[in-house]
Structure 1
Amino acid sequence: MELSPSAHLDTFPRDHLPPAGQWPDLVFGLPALSYPQRLNCGAELLDGTIERFGADRPVFRTGGGEVWTYGELRQQVDRIAHVLTSELGVVPGNRVLLRGPTTPHLAACWLAVMRTGAVAVTVLAQQRAKELATVCEIAAVSHALCDIRSLDDLAKAEVPGLRITAYGGDGPDDLLRLASARPYEPYEPVATAADDVALIAFTSGTTGRPKGCMHFHRDVLAVADTFSEQVLRPEPDDVFAGSPPLGFTFGLGGLVIFPMRAGASALLLEQAGPAQLLEAVAKHRVSVLFTAPTAYRVMLDKLDGHDTGSLRRCVSAGENLPAATWQAWQERTGLRIINGIGATELLHIFISAADEAIRPGTTGVPVPGWEARVVDEEGRPVPDGEPGLLAVRGPVGCRYLADPRQSQYVRDGWNRTGDTYVREPDGWFRYVARADDMIISAGYNIAGPEVEEALLHHPEVAEAAVVGRPDELRGQIVVAYVVLRGGSEPGDDTAQALTDWVKQRLTPFKCPREIVFLDALPRTATGKLQRYRLRAIE
């Protein structure tokens, strides 16, 4: 596919797209997906929404009661954009790392990066130094905007040449201080191409090395104009809230892209566990909720005494939603959870169903604008009712950043998500299992080899293997099988020491919830680890 002339002065993003022959086929079947050649998604979400709905509508709210209007947000975004380009030297195409809790300031930084034509690389506030260093290396990140409270691990990453600018502090070089010190001037958005890279979202790889997923400006609008517009159908007076952080595309869509595209507002919570979500729903009259099945299961036990009457839409993704959870939530609240499957590679949800079309126990049907089928290893469609590999295509497709795994994810023009599915005879899609070694726990993707590597760096660990154990609450939990070196004693103290060791090196949700000590790991005659035997134990 021929690309439009790029607005990027730093050509790294275009230079590191996969070869054209490895791209998936793209489908633009809906009229709403006919985007102009020049398109800046940040400007469309902000300026375009102001043109349609006005500047005085609320856009972001905080748990403490602060409310930003669209007009106030545009001023903040313009100010940050001026600092980025005039004082920090950011040019279109530069990669800018964004890190911090979910706040209006983090969202404003993301929009400012879009406005300047740079490329956002949003990471989790909980990620550790080694993980951050890997992301910066893969994406060749040159600048970082970081909440003052999340600076430590980023500084410890010691990324060569990385210019870190903190925000939310009281230093003279604080981003927000620099932004407020200059006289206000509108910032003219860079006229990026619709197919210029806007963001690089990182996802776990089954090998443990993360994969950077490159998404265009048009992709950001496409997920709003398909799933959000066609299935979720938000209204301008909706208040969105949810648990996923902006470092996950599930959260970026549900808390920034979808509400802004609809002229609605979002409650941005720094702490968004099940208890905090229920309190926020009642206090702030949340009407649209995004979270994972695990959170819905936990909230079921905490509903008493909480007013959920403002809710009209509940969205679940990140892991399979059991029919029992759906039914229990519907019985207690009267609300029908909108289930969906998405992927970082495809930016957001592509199979779902809403309202009377919902069928508990299934994911749904392809979202308008998307196509899906179930295939065998050779890419041939399997008969309805038989399990196979889920293959998807639509207006957004997988484009890994200089990663040989591109040819594994995209086959014959279709995106292979790594999920085993069944297509029912009437067209509904039902989840069966992951088809690869990924562990999905409470909606988080966890690569076993990454946890194994962290364990193997401990001086007392000789061997380690990590698998997922089925769990009623979380879907799966991480279990590590460990062989200790001679002289080391297995037991609770050693298990706790190993858990603490991993927590210092990886994001906490990746840490094993149980460590099992073995004399030896099961292996083939040639020495290959037999994970399936460990799964059989589980």
Structure 2
Amino acid sequence: MATMETHVPAEPSAHVDTFARDHLPPRHLWPEMDYSALPELAYPPRLNCAVELLDRMVESGHADRTAILWDGGRWSYRELVEKANRIAAALHDLGLVPGNRVLLRGPNTPMMAACWFGVLKAGGVVVATMPLLRPRELAHIAQKAMVRFALCDHRLLGDLVAARGQAPVLERVLAWGGEGDDSLDALMERHTGEFGAVDTAADDVALIAFTSGTTGQPKGAMHFHRDVLAACDCFPKYVLKPTPDDVFCGSPPLAFTFGLGGILIFPLRVGATALLIEQPTPPNLLKAIQDHGATIVSTAPTAYRAMLELLPQHDIRSLTRCVSAGETLPLPTFEAWEAATGIRIIDGIGSTEMLHIFISASGDDIRPGSTGKAVPGYRARIIDQEGNPLPPGSIGRLAVQGPTGCRYLDDEERQRGYVWDGWNVTGDAYRMDEDGYFWYQARTDDMIVSAGYNIAGPEVEAVMLEHPAVMECGVVGLPDAERGQVVSAFIVLREGNDGGDEMVKELQQWVKDHIAPYKYPRRVTFLDQLPRTQTGKLQRFRLREGA
């Protein structure tokens, strides 16, 4: 198509530090990016997405409306703009230049959101991380993205300080919420709420979202300023259909692109309210919906199943729309939720590489058990192992194109694996029916999807092999009614070690202490030997079959 982007844009970058643009994949390995499908995708060549999401809302009459809501209070759109401006000015005080990456570490709080926008206004590149990550994981991300600056909730500072010992590139870590003249809060107080946002190009990198791959090393997916707006102008506008009176909430961390969209940038794009819940467990999520009159919730199927039992104790009549993503939505969960609430869950599939949901359906368009149809602005098809399109009814690989797409940070091998002939190939097996609805079948790789989290088996294996009692280890995902899959470890112990309950607990705690706790193996099986090929490769499929 002539309207697709087929060349490197000539628009000058605002980035003085050109690391991000320099480490994009070779242009011929990019997916085709189509901005012609919807009129709102025709973005100008220069834009800063933080300005579009915040300042434009203030200018259009939303200044005094509630932008951020939490148990402790509220910020209006004007107040959020002022906070973001003060953070941007503080970053400039520290020596940040446009294009520098800034790591963010914190739970879903107002300051985490304000920092996200402040970094973008300063011309930086956001590298948001989950609160559960441990020093070794934070250090790897910092080194991979060459992060010099980090902003952190003071309660989570310990692991980030520890990460600096493993990531010498990380020069300055600044905390918010604490005390001291060198805190982020103190630097913000030196400035007014005025700041001239950096005039970034639409195709300047705005964020690097990290997701674990099957090798266990995190992949950095790079997204431009216009990508952020495209995510807001497709799924939410045409499927979710929010209004300025909506109150959005959910459970995914803002470091997950599912959470970034569904909890923060989608509501702000339409002048609505983002309700942030610091500890969004199912009980807390229901209580927040009840207490604040939330109308839209985004969470994983696991949470919907957990909330079903708690519904009688809560009044959630304000709720009008429920979004599910992160893992496939089981039909029994969909049916039970509809029976209990009268609301049909909006299922969807997205990916960190695509930024957000690209297949979904809502209302009367929902076909229970199906993920839905390609979201306006996107197109999808099923392909075979060679990349050829398959007819309806065939099971094959899901491939998608649209205004967002995969561009890995400095990882040409993985880029070639994700992008085939201009199409993003997600690693999911689907079939498409005659009406264009897509029906999930399975993952096509060894990624474990447990309770909405993507967990790489090899990463867990590597940590367990560091334990002195472990000689060999294989980690796979096994089916589980509550979590979809559970991390399951098969272990060969060194001679002299007993494979009893105490060893199981010790190994589980070992993993929790070294990487994010949600990655720990909930099932541990001790074997005399692991199944391997003649060349010594672990046969994970045999572990699954044996279980």
Q: 1:287, 1:313 within 8 Å by CA — same for their partners in 2?
A: yes
Corresponding residue for residue 117 of structure 1:
123
2:474 is paired with a residue whose SS is: strand
> Which is further off, 132-141 or 526-535?
526-535
2:437 pairs with 1:428: yes
Letter in 2 for 1:329: W
CA positional deviation for 1:523 = 1.0
Equivalent residue, structure 1, for 2:142: 136
Task: Select the residue among 425, 442, 450 that pairs with 1:416.
Answer: 425
User: Does the CA-based 8 Å contact 2:142-2:169 persist in structure 1?
Assistant: no
1:363 to 371, 375, 381: 371
Equivalent positions of 1:372-451 (< 5 A) are 372-403=380-411, 404-451=413-460
How far does the alpha carbon of each residue in 1:55-108 deviate from its partner, in whole angstroms, 9 at most, with x for none? 1000001123x01000111111111111111x2111100000000111000100
Match of 1:46 in 2: 54
| Partner Cα separation in structure 2 for residue 323 and residue 281 of structure 1 | 24
CA offsets 1:250-294 (integer angstroms, 9 cap, x no match): 001111110000100111111001111111111110000000000
Q: 1:70 aligns with which of 64, 77, 97?
A: 77
Deviates more, 1:48-57 or 1:399-408: 48-57
The match for 1:490 among 479, 484, 499 is 499
Match of 2:510 in 1: 501
Instruction: Provide closer, same or farther for how the CA distance between residues 534 and 421 of structure 1 changes in structure 2, counting only shifts above 3 A.
Output: same
Structure 2 counterparts to residues 134-283 of structure 1, below 5 A: 134-157=140-163, 158=165, 159-162=167-170, 163-180=172-189, 182-283=190-291
- The separation in 2 between residues aligned to 1:452 and 1:334, in whole angstroms, is 43
Tell me the distance in 1 between the aligned counterparts of 2:531 and 2:169: 44
Alignment-derived partner of residue 468 in structure 1: 477
Overall identity of the aligned pairs, in %: 58
Q: Which amino acid aligns with 1:21?
A: H
What is the CA–CA distance in structure 1 between the aligned matches of 2:161 and 2:226, rounded to whole Å? 33
Distance 2:325 2:261 in 1: 12
- Whether contact under 8 Å (1:469, 1:476) holds in the other structure is yes
SS of alignment partner, residue 397 of structure 1: coil
Equivalent AA in structure 1 for residue 335 of structure 2: Q
1:443 shift after superposition: 0.4
Three-state SS of the structure 1 residue aligned to 2:221 is: strand
| Alignment counterpart, residue 330 of structure 2, candidates 316, 322, 332 | 322
Please give the per-residue CA displacement for 1:429-468, whole angstroms capped at 9, x wherever unaligned.
0000000000000000000000000000001100000001
Equivalent position amino acid for 1:268 in 2: L
Q: CA deviation at 1:185?
A: 4.7
Paired residue for 2:67? Answer: 59
2:25–2:408 contact (8 Å) kept in structure 1 = yes
Secondary structure of 2:440's match?
A: strand
Per the alignment, in what secondary structure is the counterpart of residue 160 of structure 2? helix
User: 1:130 and 1:161 mapped to 2: Cα distance?
Assistant: 14
How far apart, in 2, do the equivalents of 1:457 and 1:390 lie? 37
Whole-Å separation in 1 of the counterparts to 2:392 and 2:60 = 44
Structure 1 unmatched ranges of 5 or more: none
Task: Give secondary structure in 2 for the equivalent of 1:314.
Answer: strand
**Counterpart secondary structure, 1:304:** helix
1:161, 1:128 → 2: CA distance?
A: 17
Which amino acid letter does the alignment assign opposite residue 27 of structure 1? D
Give the counterpart letter for 2:135 in structure 1: A
Q: Is the 8 A contact 2:83 2:193 kept in 1?
A: no
Match of residue 97 from structure 1: 103
Q: Is 2:315 aligned against 1:307?
A: yes
Output the CA distance in 1 between the equivalents of 2:221 and 2:8.
Answer: 20
Aligned equivalents of 2:117, 2:322: Cα separation in 1: 26
- Any idea what the Cα deviations from partners look like across 1:295-329, whole Å, max 9, x if unmatched? 00111111112111000110000000011111110
- Which deviations, in whole Å up to 9, do the C-alpha atoms of 1:19-75 show, x marking residues without a partner? 0010001111100000000010001000111122321000001123x0100011111
What does residue 352 of structure 2 align with?
A: 344
Deviation, structure 1 residue 526: 2.2
Mean Cα deviation higher: 447-456 or 516-525: 516-525
Further displaced range: 161-170 or 196-205: 161-170
Please point out which of 24, 27, 30 is paired with 1:20.
Answer: 27
Structure 1 position 525, deviation (Å)? 2.1
Amino acid at match of 1:26: M
| Aligned 8 A contact 1:53 1:263 in 2 | no
Q: CA RMSD in A?
A: 0.8
Residue 161 of structure 1 and its aligned partner are, at CA, apart by 3.7
TM-score for the superposition, normalised by structure 2 = 0.97
Count of residue correspondences: 535
How far apart, in 2, do the equivalents of 1:462 and 1:161 lie?
34
Give the aligned residue type for 2:422.
G
Question: 2:4 aligns to what?
Answer: none
Contact 2:81/2:193 (<8 A) preserved: no
Asked if structure 1 preserves the Cα contact closer than 8 Å seen for 2:146 and 2:169, the reply is no
Give the letter aligned to residue 25 of structure 1: E
Contact 2:296–2:321 (CA<8 Å) still a contact in 1? yes
The aligned amino acid for 1:483 is: V
Quick one: distance in 1 between partners of 2:495 and 2:56? 65
Residue 44 (structure 2) aligned to one of 30, 36, 39:
36
- Paired with 2:114 and 2:322, the residues of 1 have a C-alpha distance of 25
Q: Is 2:292 the counterpart of 1:284?
A: yes
